[in-house]
Amino acid sequence: MTRRKSQRVITGIPGSPGIAIGTAYVERPIDIDPLTRSIAPEDAEAEVGRFQAAVDASKRQLEVIRDRVADLHVPEPRLILDTHLLILEDEMLIGETASTIRRETIAAEVALRATMDKVRAAFESITDDYFRERVNDVDQVAERILRNLSGHVDGASLAERAQGHVIVHHDLTPADTALLRRGMVMGFVTDTGGKTSHTVIMARSLEIPAVVGATSATADIDEGAMVILDGAAGVVIVDPDESTLEDYRRRKAVFEERERRLRAGAQKPAFTRDGVRVHLHANLELPQEAELAVACGADGIGMFRTEFLFMNRRDLPTEDEQYAAYRTVVEAMGGRPATIRTLDIGGDKLLSPADRPSEANPALGLRAIRYCLKEPALFRTQLRAILRAAQHGPVRILVPLVSGVEELRLTKAEIETARQSLAAEGFTAPAVEVGVMIEVPGAALVADLLAREADFFSLGTNDLIQYSLAIDRGNEEVAYLYEPMHPAMLRLLKMVLDAAAVAGRRVNLCGEMGGEAQYLPVLLGLGLREISMHAAQIPRMKRWLSAIDIDTSKKIAAKALTLATAKEVRDYVSSAAASFEPPTTLDGI
Ligand code: PEP
Ligand code: MG
Is residue 362 scored above 90 in pLDDT?
no
Q: Are residues 133 and 201 in the same domain?
A: no
Distance of CA 304 to the CA centre of its chain: 12
Q: Are residues 162 and 141 in the same domain?
A: no
Give the residue, out of 285, 463, 493, with the most ligand 1 atoms within 8 A of its beta carbon, to mutate for a pocket test.
463
- From the candidates 198, 279, 281, 392, which is the catalytic residue? 198
Q: Are residues 239 and 353 in the same domain?
A: no
pLDDT, average across residues 70-97:
76
Is residue 372 part of the annotated active site? The answer reads: no
Residue 34 placed within a domain? no
Nearest one of 94, 95, 115, 104 to 41, comparing CA atoms: 104
The CA-based angle 206-208-214, given to 5 degrees, is 130
Beta carbon of 511 within 6 Å of any ligand 1 atom: yes
Ligand 1, atom nearest to 307 Cα: 9
Nearest protein CA to atom 1 of ligand 1, as residue: 460
485 three-class SS? coil
Q: Are residues 442 and 490 in the same domain?
A: yes
pLDDT at 32: 60
Query: What are the tens digits of pLDDT across the range 392-441?
Result: 999 999 999 999 999 999 999 999 999 999 999 999 999 999 999 999 99
Nearest protein CA to atom 8 of ligand 1, as residue: 462
Beta carbon of 205 within 6 Å of any ligand 1 atom: no
Q: Are residues 145 and 175 in the same domain?
A: no
Closest ligand to the CA of 304: 1
pLDDT at 568: 98
Residue 481 placed within a domain? yes
Strands across the sheet containing 166-169: 8-11, 235-238, 226-230, 19-27, 166-169, 187-190, 210-212, 13-16
Q: Are residues 160 and 59 in the same domain?
A: no
Beta carbon of 514 within 6 Å of any ligand 1 atom: no
Nearest protein CA to atom 3 of ligand 1, as residue: 460
* 466 CA → ligand 1 middle, Å: 10
CATH number for position 219: 3.50.30.10
Q: Quick one: pLDDT band at residue 224, thresholds 50, 70, 90?
A: very high
Residue 560 placed within a domain? yes
- pTM for the whole structure: 0.77
**Other residues' Cβ atoms within 10 Å of the Cβ of residue 462:** 24
Query: What are the tens digits of pLDDT across the range 165-204?
Result: 999 998 887 777 878 888 889 999 999 888 888 889 889 9
Q: What is the tally of helices (H) and strands (E) in the chain?
A: 24, 16
Q: Are residues 120 and 218 in the same domain?
A: no
Beta carbon of 461 within 6 Å of any ligand 1 atom: yes
Is residue 30 scored above 90 in pLDDT?
no
CATH number for position 375: 3.20.20.60
Q: Whole-number mean pLDDT of the chain? A: 89
Q: Quick one: pLDDT band at residue 575, thresholds 50, 70, 90?
A: very high
pLDDT at 235: 97
Distance of CA 253 to the CA centre of its chain: 27
Q: Are residues 248 and 336 in the same domain?
A: no
Is residue 198 part of the annotated active site? The answer reads: yes
CATH number for position 84: 1.10.274.10
Residue 583 placed within a domain? no
* 462 CA → ligand 2 middle, Å: 6
Residue 128 placed within a domain? yes
Is residue 548 within 8 A of residue 518, CB to CB? The reply is: no
Final residue before a domain boundary, out of 130, 149, 168: 149
Closest ligand to the CA of 510: 1
Q: Are residues 481 and 385 in the same domain?
A: yes
Final residue before a domain boundary, out of 227, 242, 259: 259
pLDDT at 562: 98
Ligand 1, atom nearest to 303 Cα: 5
Query: What are the tens digits of pLDDT across the range 303-319?
Result: 999 998 988 777 889 99
pLDDT at 68: 62
Distance separating the N- and C-terminal Cα atoms of the chain? 42
Q: Give the C-alpha separation, 184 to 466, whole Å.
A: 33
**Other residues' Cβ atoms within 10 Å of the Cβ of residue 494:** 17
Beta carbon of 191 within 6 Å of any ligand 1 atom: no
Nearest protein CA to atom 9 of ligand 1, as residue: 305
Provide the domain count of the chain. Answer: 3
Q: Are residues 493 and 398 in the same domain?
A: yes
Range of the domain at 182: 8-28+155-259
Query: What are the tens digits of pLDDT across the range 128-164?
Result: 665 666 676 787 788 788 878 877 655 567 888 888 9
Beta carbon of 285 within 6 Å of any ligand 1 atom: no
Ligand 1, atom nearest to 461 Cα: 3
Beta carbon of 218 within 6 Å of any ligand 1 atom: no
**Other residues' Cβ atoms within 10 Å of the Cβ of residue 262:** 21
Q: Are residues 378 and 523 in the same domain?
A: yes
Query: What are the tens digits of pLDDT across the range 52-63?
Result: 999 998 888 778
* 344 CA → ligand 1 middle, Å: 9
Q: Quick one: pLDDT band at residue 70, thresholds 50, 70, 90?
A: low
pLDDT at 353: 41
Residue 383 placed within a domain? yes
Beta carbon of 462 within 6 Å of any ligand 1 atom: yes
Query: What are the tens digits of pLDDT across the range 318-345?
Result: 999 999 999 999 999 999 999 999 999 8
Residue 586 placed within a domain? no
Q: Are residues 430 and 515 in the same domain?
A: yes
Query: Which of 345-359, 404-418, 437-451 is the least confident region?
Result: 345-359
Give the residue, out of 510, 513, 516, 523, with the most ligand 1 atoms within 8 A of its beta carbon, to mutate for a pocket test.
510
Residue 367 placed within a domain? yes
Is residue 388 scored above 50 in pLDDT?
yes
Nearest one of 342, 364, 344, 341 to 354, comparing CA atoms: 344
Closest ligand to the CA of 195: 1
pLDDT at 126: 78
Final residue before a domain boundary, out of 204, 231, 259: 259
pLDDT at 587: 47
